[in-house]
Structure 1
């Protein structure tokens, strides 16, 4: 195992132990979530925040953190619910409020997706002309495809 990865797992184990020892400590939660995200353990970070939100449902900062995580893993509906509730609950700083509004905009754009419209037109131009003097039937046809 590379030295950097070994240090990361040690940090994760330490943060996990601290999280278990102090489940209601917001600072410990934030530290564990940060380490879990850095270790690629998004499911652990999300479940920790959700567990915390069961006990403290009106913690707007935790709702914002949950929204960021759900957005990161592509669960846009859950991200939108979390950020909207966090905004409604209040208690976010002005910077966090702005971040929440920007995140909500990114979530809405992700949910709308991309719509493409392409219109194609094609056909064949055909003309008939009669150039014969005196009304004789001399046909000249012109055919040209277009698109």
Structure 2
């Protein structure tokens, strides 16, 4: 299995923030987690509101927890709210079930981490995460 390095994590962040600038988005916070759910790198743009780190982390953590992007979790919240209530309870409330949490897969398809982004609409957050993961040479999986 490929390791998600700090250098690649920083590439994901800078590329995701560049995409946000290109799209003229609100200030973003980007969190990159390794496959074990540990923070590898994070940046919060000037002007990003409070709690952005926690929200971005929750999107990425949720994706890792279930092995699917947070877009899938959002669908589950709509169709199976009891599932999300239980998942939230067993995770200690760490999961944020809205788009913007994207799995990072290596060339063989193994999950090596996740990226969570927040600050703009969930769809825009997700687009920036995908752009960052692509730029680092990995495969994004938004769910």
What is the TM-score of this pair, normalised by structure 2?
Answer: 0.24
Q: When you count strand as a share of all residues, which structure comes out higher?
A: 2
Task: With a CA cutoff of 8 Å and minimum separation of 6, indicate the structure with the bigger relative contact order.
Answer: 2
- Structure label with greater radius of gyration: 1
Whichever structure has more helix as a proportion of its residues is 1
